[in-house]
């Protein structure tokens, strides 16, 4: 089956042409690596502040900068990266989908269930794909951990333990207000990394029971031109969660911006040992501790090339050409969003909340898969 452009119906081949909406700090994480991937071609960038878009286009050598409408008027853009703030994710995604383009979004997919459903429905109707961060799930570290788990390295999984603690981003981020607004906080800003990986490794989540705490009603910007400015905190800044998976695995998690100590932990314990998963980055090695055999953690060398931000866009581009769904899919992101919102609701009510959505299985990449390889030179290319 030949891949075809979603808008024109013509056969599509060669690198997937990409546009970016959102010229803020996150674009600086994507652009350096996207420019080096041969299977995507970044054509331009847009922002509400067109001068900021022009500055990024100049810094990274992009041929176009302008408004969102102007970017979506370009005929050759096939895939749009939605790097806006969380409160704008769904509205921008809908605008992109309605223009007939595929969309990759930063996490979370949306800030409410109906908006997320609207994006996925519209994409299905338009025949375009939705992909969503985090793409750390495609990094060599997590991919290796997934192969170890499915290969029985720790037997049958029983429990999971995740921990993310820190003092919060207001000390270093020059505009941290949105990180303490609805749709962010430690749960929505950091939680997607942990929850997406948990679902990838252990399957869909059946229920959650949570408690939340807000250490103080205001925070102070610690750096940049607005240093010293106070701003309101709109979300819980410490969340504790008990999670039950459809498989029967039970998990315990903490997401906190209230701790002066910085800690990150992700462990899955099974009938034959414990697997430590490197959730915070792309290439850190997983570790194994086998009960009754080893007393010390043993790092396992990651299998696969070193990877970085934007690898999910490359995987999505190849999936689009092949007529497949991306691994970091909108359906996966929709389930994670449902879990995030259910955690928030459980913390507010003090009662457990059942999860009514599910997520597709996320198969691991082939060990030889490479983002640096040029594969999209014909209408049909292998993933």
Query: Would you say 333 and 105 are in contact if contact means Cβ atoms under 8 Å apart?
Result: yes
pLDDT number for residue 292: 64
pLDDT-derived band at 379 (thresholds 50, 70, 90) equals very low
Residue in 87, 81, 90, 103 with CA at minimum distance from that of residue 27: 81
Distance of CA 225 to the CA centre of its chain: 29
Residue 121 — φ and ψ, nearest 5°? -65, -45
pLDDT number for residue 13: 81
**Is the pLDDT score of 9 beyond 80?**
no
- Buried (b) or exposed (e) across 297-308, using 16+ Cβ within 10 A? eeebebebbebb
**Is the pLDDT score of 8 beyond 90?**
no
Q: What is the pLDDT of residues 11-36, one digit of tens each?
A: 468 999 999 999 998 999 999 999 99
Q: Residues 215-244: what's their mean pLDDT?
A: 96
In the chain, what percentage of residues exceed pLDDT 90?
87
Q: What is the pLDDT of residues 286-342, one digit of tens each?
A: 999 876 666 788 999 999 999 999 999 999 999 999 999 999 999 999 999 999 999
pLDDT-derived band at 5 (thresholds 50, 70, 90) equals low
pLDDT number for residue 1: 32
**DSSP conformation letters of 209-251:** EEEEE-S-SEEE--SSTTTT-EEE--S-SEEEEEEEETTS-EE
**Is the pLDDT score of 165 beyond 80?**
yes
Q: What is the pLDDT of residues 84-137, one digit of tens each?
A: 988 899 999 999 999 999 999 999 999 999 999 999 999 999 999 999 999 999
Residue in 247, 59, 40, 274 with CA at minimum distance from that of residue 145: 274
Distances (CA, A) of 337 to 114, 132, 177, 334, 343: 11, 11, 21, 5, 10
Q: Residues 236-260: what's their mean pLDDT?
A: 97
pLDDT-derived band at 6 (thresholds 50, 70, 90) equals low
- In the chain, what are the domains? 137-299 (3.30.360.10)
* pTM reported for the whole predicted model: 0.92
Tell me the Cα Rg of the chain: 21
pLDDT number for residue 380: 42
Query: Would you say 218 and 170 are in contact if contact means Cβ atoms under 8 Å apart?
Result: no
């Amino acid at each position: 089956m030949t891949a075809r452009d979603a808008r024109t119906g013509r056969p599509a081949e060669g690198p997937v042409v990409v546009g970016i909406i959102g010229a803020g700090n996150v674009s600086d994480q994507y652009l350096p690596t996207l420019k080096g991937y041969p299977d995507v071609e970044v054509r331009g960038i847009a922002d509400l502040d067109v001068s900021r878009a022009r500055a990024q286009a100049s810094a990274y050598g992009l041929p176009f900068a302008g408004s969102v409408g102007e970017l979506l008027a370009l005929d050759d853009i096939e895939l749009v990266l939605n790097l806006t703030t969380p409160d704008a994710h769904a509205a921008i995604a809908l605008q992109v989908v309605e223009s007939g383009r595929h969309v990759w979004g930063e996490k979370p997919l949306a800030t409410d269930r109906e908006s997320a459903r609207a994006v996925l429905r519209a994409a299905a109707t338009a025949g375009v794909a939705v992909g969503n961060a985090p793409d750390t799930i495609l990094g060599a570290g997590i991919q290796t951990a997934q192969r170890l788990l499915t290969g029985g390295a720790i037997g049958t999984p029983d429990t999971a333990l995740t921990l993310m603690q820190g003092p919060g981003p207001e000390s270093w981020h020059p505009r941290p207000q949105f990180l303490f607004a609805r749709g962010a906080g430690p749960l929505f800003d950091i939680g997607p990394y942990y929850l997406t990986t948990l679902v990838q490794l252990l399957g869909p989540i059946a229920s959650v029971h949570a408690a939340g705490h807000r250490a103080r009603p205001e925070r102070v910007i610690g750096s940049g031109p607005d240093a010293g400015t106070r701003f309101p905190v709109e979300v819980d800044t410490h969340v504790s969660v008990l999670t039950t998976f459809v498989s029967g695995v039970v998990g315990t998690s903490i997401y906190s911006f209230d701790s002066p100590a910085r800690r990150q932990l992700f462990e899955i314990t099974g009938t034959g040992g414990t697997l430590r998963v490197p959730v915070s980055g792309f290439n850190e090695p997983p570790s194994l501790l086998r009960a009754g055999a080893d007393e010390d953690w043993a790092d396992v060398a990651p299998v696969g090339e070193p990877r970085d931000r934007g690898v999910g866009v490359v995987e999505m581009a190849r999936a689009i050409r092949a007529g497949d769904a991306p691994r970091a899919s909108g359906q996966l992101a929709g389930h994670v969003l449902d879990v995030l919102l259910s955690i928030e609701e459980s913390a507010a009510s003090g009662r457990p909340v059942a999860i009514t959505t599910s997520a597709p299985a996320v198969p691991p990449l082939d060990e030889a898969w490479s983002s640096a390889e040029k594969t999209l030179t014909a209408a049909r290319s292998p993933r």
